[in-house]
Chain A
Amino acid sequence: MSKKRVVHYINQFFAGIGGEEKADIKPEVREGVVGPGMAINTALKEEAEIVATVICGDSYFNENVEVAQKEILDMIKQYKPDLFIAGPAFNAGRYGVACGTITKAVQDELGIPVVTGMYIENPGADMFKKSVYIVETGNSAATMRAAVPAMVNLALKLLKGEEVGSPEEDKYISRGIRKNYFAEERGSKRAVDMLIKKLKGEDFVTEYPMPDFDRVEPNPAVKDLSKAKIALVTSGGIVPKGNPDRVESSSASKYGKYDIANFQELTEADHETAHGGYDPVYANEDPDRVLPVDVLRDLEKEGAIGELHRYFYTTVGNGTSVASSKAFASEFAKELIADGVEAVILTST
C-alpha cells in the first residue's frame, strides 16, 4: 500500500530562512520535508509521508490574508494531499493565526483532515479551536519533541477515520463541542459526590463549565414612533395555517417570513402556532395573542406608529439552540434593515 500524502506548512523561521527580517517573504513550496517536517515525517512512519512543504513569511501572510491564502491553497492542491499539517506554532501569534487560517481553508476547500498545533494562549487558538483540531503545545520550540508525536497521533486518527478521543486523551484544545456518553454512575450519585467534595473544600470538576454569556444590550428607545416602520418577530411559532414551510415544533432548523399586508388581524381560519412547547389552544383560537397584528393595526390607524411592516418573521423557540437563533436573526435582521424597519417587537412564549 502506498503511503498517504501529506503537505506541511511552516513559516520562514522554522524553514531556516530567517527571523523577523524575513517575515515578509512570499509563499513558496519545496518538495519533501523542511525543518520540523523531519520529525513529523519520522513519526508518520509507514503510514504517510510529507510530499511537499509550503513556506510563508508570517508578516506577508497576515498582511495579505486573502491573497496569501489563495496562493498557498493552489500550491497545496497541486500535491493532491490526503492530510494537511501546519506548524506547530507554539506561542508565535502571527504564525498561529496563519496556521489556523490555512488549516481551516484547506479543511473547507479540499475536505481533507487537517491538524495544527499551538500554545493555548496563542491568539490563533481562540480564533480557530472551534473549526479545526489544534494540538495543545508548550509555549516555545523547546517543546517540539512533545508536540510532534501528539500532532501525528491525532493526524493519523483523522486520516484513518478513527474516532477522536476527548481533548485530554488526544491532547487537543477543546473545540467546545458537547458529546454525550454514559457515565459509570447515575447523575444523582455524581451530584451527591460533588456536593460532598464542595462541602469539604476538595477539588471537583464541573461537568459543564459556564460559558461567557452573550447578553445583548437593548438599543436606545425609538424617538418618534409615529413615523417608525415596526416589524413583528416571534419565537412563538405563529405560521400561516397548515405550516407551509414545516417549521419544526421544537429545535427549529429554520424560520418563516410571511406577508401580512392583507391582514387586519389573525384568526383561527388563517394562522396557527407550530410551537410544541405550550398548550396551543389559546394561540390557535386567536393567533393575535402571540403575534399582535390586531393591536398593531389599531396603532397604525391611530397614528401611534408609522406603519406595520408587511412581513413578519417567525420561528419556534422550543429547544432551538442559541447558535441557530443567532444565525436566523443575523440573516433576517439584514432584510429588516434593508426594508427600512426601525424597530421590532419580539414576542416569545
Chain B
Amino acid sequence: MRLELGNIFIKDVQFSDATKIENGVLYIDKEELLATVGGDERVKNIDVELAHPGEEVRITPVKDVIEPRVKVEGPGGMFPGVLSKVDTVGTGRTHALKNVAVVTAGKIVGFQEGIIDMSGPGAEYTPFSKLHNIVIIADPVDGIKQYDHEAAVRMIGLKAAQYLGEFAKNLEPEEIKYYETEPLLESIKKYPDLPRVGYVYMLQTQGLLHDTYVYGVDAKKIIPTILYPTEIFDGAIISGNCVSACDKNPTYVHQNNSIIEDLYEKHGKEYNFVGVIITNENVYLADKERSSNWTAKLCKYLGLDAVIVSQEGFGNPDTDLIMNCKKIENEGVKTVIVTDEYAGRDGASQSLADADPKADAVITNGNANEVILLPPMKKIIGTTQYVDTIAGGFDGSLRADGSIEVEIQAITGATNETGFVRLTAKEY
C-alpha cells in the first residue's frame, strides 16, 4: 500500500466572502462553513472564530483538533465509515492543509477538555499553538446528555475539516511525501536481512466519553487487528474522547501519528516497518487480558523482532500498557513503551499505576501533574468558567485577573503519549 501525501502549507487564515486557497492563504466563507456543519438538532448555537500563532488568545474548553485533508486519488474518502463510505483508505494520494486545524470548543461536555494558549508559557506546551486554528464554538441545547453533546460536536468538527480539506483537492502541493508498506510476505522478500518492527497503537476505549472509532467502529468492540500505517494518515482512526487534554490523542494526532512518521524514516534501511497493530484499553479485566494476549499473539504471528507501544490516557490504561509490554516481551519481541507520568505536583510520587521489570525501555512525555501559571489573555475563545473543574484544574485555578494556575494536564497535547511533543521528564 502506497500513499502520496501532498502538503499544502498555509501561511494565514482569513474570513472572506468565498472559501478558497490562494497564495498560501486560506479564505473562509464563514456563512457557508456554518451552513455546512450546522443544523444538528442537538446544537443550539454555533459560531466560528480564528486564532493565530502568537496572539494573546486562549481557547477552552477544547474537545478535538482536526487537520483538514482530502483524498485526491485512490479509493475512499476522508474519515471512512464516519463521513465517507467504508472503503479501505491509505492508497493513492491525499492532500493535507498544513499549519491549520479545526478546533472544537464551546460549553463543556464533561471535565476533561483542554486549554490551547496561542502565546505565552502555555503555548510552549501545546503543539496546537503553532497552527492557525479555525475554532468552532458549538453550544448544545438545554438538558442534553453528555454523550449526545459529545457526538454532536465530534461530527461538527469532522465535517468542518472535510469541508475545508475539499478546497485543497485541485491544488499543487509544495511537498509530497511517499509512504509505502508492502504486504507482509512481499516486504520480507524485499528486505530479507532487516529486522522486522511494528507499532502497537493503543486506543483509548474506557467508555463513558472515552472512545475512539476505527472506520466508524467503536474500538471498545474490536479485538486487536492489523492496519497499514497509511490508512491512519487517511483518517481511519478518529478521536471521540474527552480524556484528560494532555494525553488524549486528538484526531489531528492520529492523522499525523509521529511514531508512524518516524518509523517510516528508517524503513528499508535500519529495519522493515511491517505494520500497525491497533488495540484497545477497555476497563474489564477479561477485555484487558484478551486484548493484550492478542497483541502479543499478532506480534509473534507477524514475526516481529521489536515494537513500539504507545499508550493513550493514564491510570487504568497503565495496566494495559504493562500487560502488552510484558506479554510481547515474553514472546521474545523487544519493546519500547511510550507513556507519560502522574508523579504528583511535587514529582515525588510513583509515576505509573502499574510497573514491571520487563518495561526496561520507556519514553516518557513528562509529568502531567506539574503546575504552570498561565497569564491572562486578551481574548478568550469559548469560556474559562470551567477551568476550576477540568482535569488538571483545582479550586481557585482561575484567578480574578484571568490568569490560571493549572496542572499541565489541562493543556491540550502537553504530554501526548505518541511522542508528538518534546516534553519529557527526568529524575532529580
**Bound Cα distance A248, B389 (Å):** 7
Could you say which residues of chain A place their CB within 8 Å of the CB of B310?
A: 191
A186 in contact with B347 given A207-B362, A251-B407 (CB within 8 Å): no
Could you say which residues of chain A place their CB within 8 Å of the CB of B351?
A: 178, 208, 211
B145 and A281 form a contact (CB under 8 A) = yes
B420 and A175 form a contact (CB under 8 A) = no
When the two chains form the complex, which single residue of B207, B350, B392, B420 contacts A251, counting CB atoms closer than 8 Å?
A: B392
A251 and B394 form a contact (CB under 8 A) = yes
A248 shortest CB reach to chain B, Å:
5
B425 and A194 form a contact (CB under 8 A) = no
For A247-261 the 0/1 string (1 means CB < 8 A from B) is 011110100000000
Could you say which residues of chain A place their CB within 8 Å of the CB of B49?
A: none
- In the assembled complex, B91 has its CB within 8 A of some CB on chain A: no
Which of A94-102, A115-123, A137-145, A196-204 lies at the interface with chain B?
A196-204
B422 and A195 form a contact (CB under 8 A) = no
A277 and B391 form a contact (CB under 8 A) = yes
B349 and A323 form a contact (CB under 8 A) = yes
When the two chains form the complex, which single residue of A177, A213, A280, A319 contacts B354, counting CB atoms closer than 8 Å?
A: A213
A276 and B391 form a contact (CB under 8 A) = yes
Could you say which residues of chain A place their CB within 8 Å of the CB of B428?
A: 164, 166-167, 174-175, 177-179
Nearest-CB residue, chain B, relative to A210: B355
Top 9 A-B pairs ranked by shortest CB distance?
A187-B419, A276-B111, A188-B419, A279-B208, A321-B344, A321-B349, A323-B349, A188-B258, A250-B391
- In the assembled complex, B147 has its CB within 8 A of some CB on chain A: yes
- In the assembled complex, A189 has its CB within 8 A of some CB on chain B: yes
**Bound Cα distance A188, B210 (Å):** 23
Could you say which residues of chain A place their CB within 8 Å of the CB of B350?
A: 211, 213-214, 321-323
- Contact residues of A with B, CB < 8 Å? 130, 164, 166-167, 174-192, 194-196, 198-199, 204, 206-211, 213-214, 246, 248-251, 253, 275-282, 317-324
Could you say which residues of chain A place their CB within 8 Å of the CB of B314?
A: 319
Could you say which residues of chain A place their CB within 8 Å of the CB of B341?
A: 178, 208
Could you say which residues of chain B place their CB within 8 Å of the CB of A192?
A: 259, 262-263, 265-266, 308
Q: Give the interface size bracket for B toward A.
A: 35 or more
Could you say which residues of chain A place their CB within 8 Å of the CB of B364?
A: 187, 207-208
The residues in B between 394 and 410 inclusive whose CB is less than 8 angstroms from any CB of A are 394-395, 407-409
A186 and B336 form a contact (CB under 8 A) = no
- In the assembled complex, B421 has its CB within 8 A of some CB on chain A: yes
When the two chains form the complex, which single residue of A175, A187, A199, A318 contacts B197, counting CB atoms closer than 8 Å?
A: A199
B282 shortest CB reach to chain A, Å:
13
B310 shortest CB reach to chain A, Å:
8
A198 in contact with B334 given A186-B422, A188-B418, A280-B110 (CB within 8 Å): yes
**Bound Cα distance A191, B394 (Å):** 33
A180 in contact with B266 given A188-B418, A191-B259, A207-B425 (CB within 8 Å): no
B336 and A194 form a contact (CB under 8 A) = yes
Nearest-CB residue, chain B, relative to A249: B111
B308 and A191 form a contact (CB under 8 A) = yes
Nearest-CB residue, chain B, relative to A278: B208
Could you say which residues of chain A place their CB within 8 Å of the CB of B368?
A: 319
Q: Contacts A191-B310, A208-B362 known; list 6 others, CB within 8 Å.
A: A174-B427, A177-B427, A194-B363, A248-B394, A278-B209, A323-B350
A243 shortest CB reach to chain B, Å:
9
- In the assembled complex, B342 has its CB within 8 A of some CB on chain A: yes
Could you say which residues of chain B place their CB within 8 Å of the CB of A187?
A: 258, 338, 363-365, 416-424
The residues in B between 302 and 351 inclusive whose CB is less than 8 angstroms from any CB of A are 305-308, 310, 314-315, 334, 336, 338-339, 341-351
The residues in B between 189 and 222 inclusive whose CB is less than 8 angstroms from any CB of A are 195, 197, 206-210
Could you say which residues of chain A place their CB within 8 Å of the CB of B389?
A: 249, 276
The residues in B between 245 and 286 inclusive whose CB is less than 8 angstroms from any CB of A are 258-259, 261-263, 265-266, 270-271
**Bound Cα distance A7, B342 (Å):** 38
Could you say which residues of chain B place their CB within 8 Å of the CB of A276?
A: 110-112, 389-391
**Bound Cα distance A206, B210 (Å):** 29
